[in-house]
């Protein structure tokens, strides 16, 4: 046991984020690492049991965290994303959910041995996937936009629908089994669900109105949003349990489609909070399980139920609901396979297990075990298979990490050509059609639009590109681009050409903000273009055991500009004085070299051949 509750809180957050790091470092599914970590420190070694240690605070903490996670996910659901995907998303979220409910309930009754009443409750709940498990998988797998968007929308939209279906099924059971049936409870359920959706919409509109009118200062906007999210969830959930999820989802979608810039600015902060909460809550839930529950999931009826849910119920519901929706067979196959269950299923099932047992349904004792079995097996199976399957179905963007260059000029076009030669995905973005003439003539992929505009965000697929280079002739614009996209690409993957002026040695503010300075501080864009005009060439040099990096440095010309390193894995490391870049054997250095150096090498080669 840990020495104090404070120490336990620290340990939960530390292990949660540590699991995320291990997953990133070794390219493993984060939810798998978190689940295993929680099981080890909880039921296996008995270090903590959050459900017992937190007492009456345990359920409210989990509920609020789930509400914030679901809100953050729904804040990314812009209707503009649905261009061409509205039909399959709608079908999966309605027809597909209904088919999955019916088939899942039949499976629970005939395979898991549950009574009809309990089977229909748990069948409604198990249609959910949710952002807690889908988002980490999408982040890991790098799917193509269509299947990624479908899985994201389904996970967030169906989350509250599944919880409401479970509540609806329970109310129907109570109504049908009552000695004196009264439809009041059913009417209350539909009224509460309608109120939750409207209340969420009103909360979203109210926050948007206040932000647009400037009634809240910038430093209070994020705290205000989180406070209203908790208010929105709590009010709806107090009226009818589980309707709070519907309410926060409606609030998030409302804000996402109002086009408020300050909400977009907070998105990365809220995503960071969501990752922290997902990590902590997954550790808490798995650490609170009992060892008997874990052992029980390997019983034949539970394993049979899980296998049918994964290999029959899910694929069948997707294929039937997406008939004539324009999805390809491969897309249906991938979406039909990926359906990991997560936090919502675990938390809501424990609630229904309690109320069903209180209502006299003794077979509800198995609900927690059944839920954990489905969560554990789907998380493991889908977590490890999504990347492999996406590649097999040609639905993955995997490959060498690409580079997106903002600014079309002689240097960036030649840089793009050198990257294309080594099969690195590349694209040049510029708002000037005239400047893009160089890219067009060179056959370099390009996109004609203002990079910071909303249209670019919705029409330009940025998934293949892990690096961003701002290389326009405006230093302030380069700094703005880097500052805007640093949260998305990461601090070490965003670069800008040097803003320094060699004559005045300017240290203007744009040199201090946004992005690392590319190549050398003393070599700005004007110098790079001048070198290209002077005949400088892009040369590849491999470092080997016989030809070391030190020898390469000794032989290089003083005017040579180191551009980037290609690692044997295909990873690109761009040169920057702000980063330690030391090539090793097997690395290829690409540099911009003076033409006289290249001519000398050619002459020496001809002499040797002669």
Distance of alpha carbon 557 from alpha carbon 542, whole angstroms: 17
Distance of alpha carbon 405 from alpha carbon 403, whole angstroms: 6
Residue 241 lies in a domain: yes
The upper half-sphere exposure of residue 195, i.e. CA atoms within 13 Å in the direction of its Cβ, equals 19
Asked whether residue 422 falls in the same domain as residue 523, the answer is: yes
421 in Cβ contact with 404 (< 8 Å): no
Which residue do the tokens 């050198």 mark? Answer: 418
Q: What pLDDT does residue 304 have?
A: 92
Asked whether residue 347 falls in the same domain as residue 412, the answer is: no
Distance of alpha carbon 312 from alpha carbon 514, whole angstroms: 50
Asked whether residue 381 falls in the same domain as residue 479, the answer is: no
**Residue 537 burial (C-beta neighbours within 10 Å; 0-12, 13-18, 19+):** middle
Distance of alpha carbon 370 from alpha carbon 293, whole angstroms: 9
Q: What is the DSSP string of 418-482?
A: HHHHTT--EEEEES-TTTTHHHHHHT--EEES-TTSHHHHHHS--TTEEEEEE-SS-HHHHHHHH
**Residue 443 burial (C-beta neighbours within 10 Å; 0-12, 13-18, 19+):** exposed
Residue 181 has pLDDT above 80, yes or no: no
Which of 290-299, 438-447, 510-519 comes out lowest in average pLDDT?
A: 510-519
CATH of the domain at 54: 1.20.1530.20
Contacts of 582-586 with C-beta under 8 Å, sequence gap 24+, read: 582/549, 583/543, 583/549, 584/543, 584/549, 585/543, 585/544, 585/545, 585/548, 586/542, 586/543, 586/544
Asked whether residue 381 falls in the same domain as residue 416, the answer is: no
pTM of the full structure: 0.68
Asked whether residue 316 falls in the same domain as residue 465, the answer is: no
H or E element in which residue 360 lies: none
Asked whether residue 508 falls in the same domain as residue 535, the answer is: yes
If we measure between CA atoms, which residue out of 484, 559, 550 comes closest to residue 527?
559
Asked whether residue 168 falls in the same domain as residue 289, the answer is: yes
Confidence band of 291 (pLDDT split at 50, 70, 90)? confident
Which residues, in sequence order, are CB contacts of 490 under 8 Å at separation 6+?
Answer: none
Residue 70 lies in a domain: yes
* Structural domain span for residue 434: 402-609
Q: Of 343, 361, 392, which residue sits at a domain end? A: 392
CATH of the domain at 541: 3.40.50.720
Q: Of 335, 360, 392, which residue sits at a domain end? A: 392
> Rg of the chain over CA atoms, in angstroms?
28
Q: What pLDDT does residue 311 have?
A: 93
Q: Encode pLDDT of 466-501 as tens digits.
A: 888 888 888 888 888 888 777 777 777 888 888 876
Distance of alpha carbon 583 from alpha carbon 533, whole angstroms: 28
Count how many domains the chain has. 2
Asked whether residue 108 falls in the same domain as residue 246, the answer is: yes
Asked whether residue 144 falls in the same domain as residue 39, the answer is: yes
Asked whether residue 419 falls in the same domain as residue 371, the answer is: no
Asked whether residue 506 falls in the same domain as residue 367, the answer is: no
Q: Tell me what the mean pLDDT of segment 567-572 comes to.
A: 77
356 in Cβ contact with 375 (< 8 Å): no
Distance of alpha carbon 226 from alpha carbon 216, whole angstroms: 14
What average pLDDT does the chain have? 81
Asked whether residue 235 falls in the same domain as residue 342, the answer is: yes
Residue 397 lies in a domain: no
**What Å distances lie between residue 466 and 81, 357, 398, 402, 571, CA to CA?**
21, 51, 11, 6, 10
Q: Encode pLDDT of 53-101 as tens digits.
A: 898 888 888 888 888 877 877 776 777 766 667 788 889 888 998 999 9
If we measure between CA atoms, which residue out of 192, 221, 70, 205 comes closest to residue 134?
70
């Amino acid at each position: 046991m840990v020495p104090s509750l404070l120490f336990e809180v620290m340990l939960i957050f530390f292990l949660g984020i540590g699991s995320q790091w291990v997953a990133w470092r070794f390219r493993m599914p984060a939810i798998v690492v978190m689940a295993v970590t929680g099981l080890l420190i909880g039921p296996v070694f008995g270090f903590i049991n959050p459900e017992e240690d937190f007492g009456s605070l345990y359920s409210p903490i989990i509920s609020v965290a789930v509400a914030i996670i679901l809100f953050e996910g729904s804040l990314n659901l812009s209707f503009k994303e649905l261009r061409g995907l509205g039909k399959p998303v709608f079908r999966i979220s309605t027809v597909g959910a209904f088919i999955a409910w019916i088939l899942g309930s039949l499976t629970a009754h005939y395979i898991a041995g549950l009574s009809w009443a309990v089977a229909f409750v748990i069948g409604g709940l198990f249609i959910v996937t949710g952002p807690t498990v889908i988002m980490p998988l999408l982040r890991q797998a790098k799917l193509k936009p269509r299947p990624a968007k479908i899985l994201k929308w389904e996970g967030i939209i169906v989350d509250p629908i599944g919880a409401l279906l479970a509540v609806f099924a329970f109310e129907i059971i109570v109504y049908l089994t009552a000695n004196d049936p009264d439809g009041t409870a059913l009417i209350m359920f539909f009224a509460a669900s309608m109120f939750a959706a409207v209340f969420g919409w009103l909360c979203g509109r109210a926050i948007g109105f206040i932000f647009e009118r400037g009634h809240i200062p910038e430093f209070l906007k994020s705290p205000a949003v989180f406070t209203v999210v908790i208010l929105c969830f709590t009010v709806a959930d107090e009226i009818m349990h589980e309707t709070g999820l519907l309410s926060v989802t409606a609030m998030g979608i409302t804000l996402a489609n109002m086009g408020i810039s300050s909400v977009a600015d907070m998105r990365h902060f809220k995503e960071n909070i969501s990752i922290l909460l997902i990590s902590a809550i997954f550790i808490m839930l798995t650490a609170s399980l009992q060892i008997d529950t874990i052992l029980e999931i390997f019983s034949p009826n539970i394993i049979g139920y899980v296998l049918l849910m994964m290999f029959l119920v899910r694929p069948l519901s997707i294929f039937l609901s997406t008939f004539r929706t324009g999805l390809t067979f491969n897309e249906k196959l991938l979406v039909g396979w990926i359906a990991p269950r997560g936090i919502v299923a675990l938390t809501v099932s424990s609630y229904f297990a309690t109320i069903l047992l209180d209502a006299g349904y003794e077979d509800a004792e198995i609900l927690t075990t059944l839920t954990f079995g489905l969560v554990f097996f789907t998380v493991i199976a889908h977590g490890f298979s999504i990347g492999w399957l996406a590649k097999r179905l040609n639905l993955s963007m995997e490959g060498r990490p690409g580079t997106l260059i903002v600014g079309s000029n002689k240097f960036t076009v030649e840089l793009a050509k050198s990257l294309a030669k080594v099969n690195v995905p590349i694209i040049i973005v510029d708002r000037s059609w005239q400047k893009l003439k160089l890219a067009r003539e060179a056959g370099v992929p390009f996109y004609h639009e203002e990079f910071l505009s909303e249209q670019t965000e919705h029409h330009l697929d940025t998934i293949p590109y892990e690096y961003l280079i701002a290389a326009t002739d405006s230093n302030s614009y380069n700094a703005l681009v880097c500052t805007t996209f640093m949260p998305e690409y990461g601090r070490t993957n965003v670069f800008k050409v040097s803003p320094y002026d060699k004559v005045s040695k300017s240290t203007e503010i744009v040199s201090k903000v946004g992005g690392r300075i590319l190549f050398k501080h003393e070599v700005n864009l004007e110098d790079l273009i001048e070198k290209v005009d002077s005949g400088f060439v892009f040369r590849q040099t491999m470092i080997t055991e016989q030809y070391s990096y030190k020898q390469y440095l000794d032989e290089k010309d003083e005017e040579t500009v180191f551009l980037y390193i290609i690692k044997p894995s295909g990873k690109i490391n761009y040169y920057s004085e702000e980063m330690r870049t030391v090539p090793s054997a097997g690395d290829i250095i690409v540099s911009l070299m003076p033409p006289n150096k290249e001519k000398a090498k050619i002459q020496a080669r001809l002499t040797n051949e002669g």
